[in-house]
Structure 1
Amino acid sequence: MNDIAKELNLQFSEEHNHFVLPNFRKLYAKFNFESGGLIYGLVKTPEFNKFHPKKKFIPEISSKLKIQFSTSHCWLLWKFLYKNIEIEDHLWLDIQNSQLKIAIKLFLQDILNLPSGLTTDL
Structure 2
Amino acid sequence: MASSIAKVHQVLLAVLGLLSTIAAIYALAADTYMSTSPRLDVANVFLRLYQLFFAVVLFSTAALGWKVPLKWFSMLETYVGSGLYAIFLGFYTYRMLNDYGLYSAWIHFIVGGIFVVYGLFAGEEKTEYTPILPQ
- The answer to whether TM tops 0.5 is no
Q: Greater helix share, 1 or 2?
A: 2
Q: Which has the higher contact order (CA 8 A, sep 6+)?
A: 2
Given the two structures, how large is their TM-score scaled by the length of structure 1?
0.32
TM-score, normalising length from structure 2? 0.30
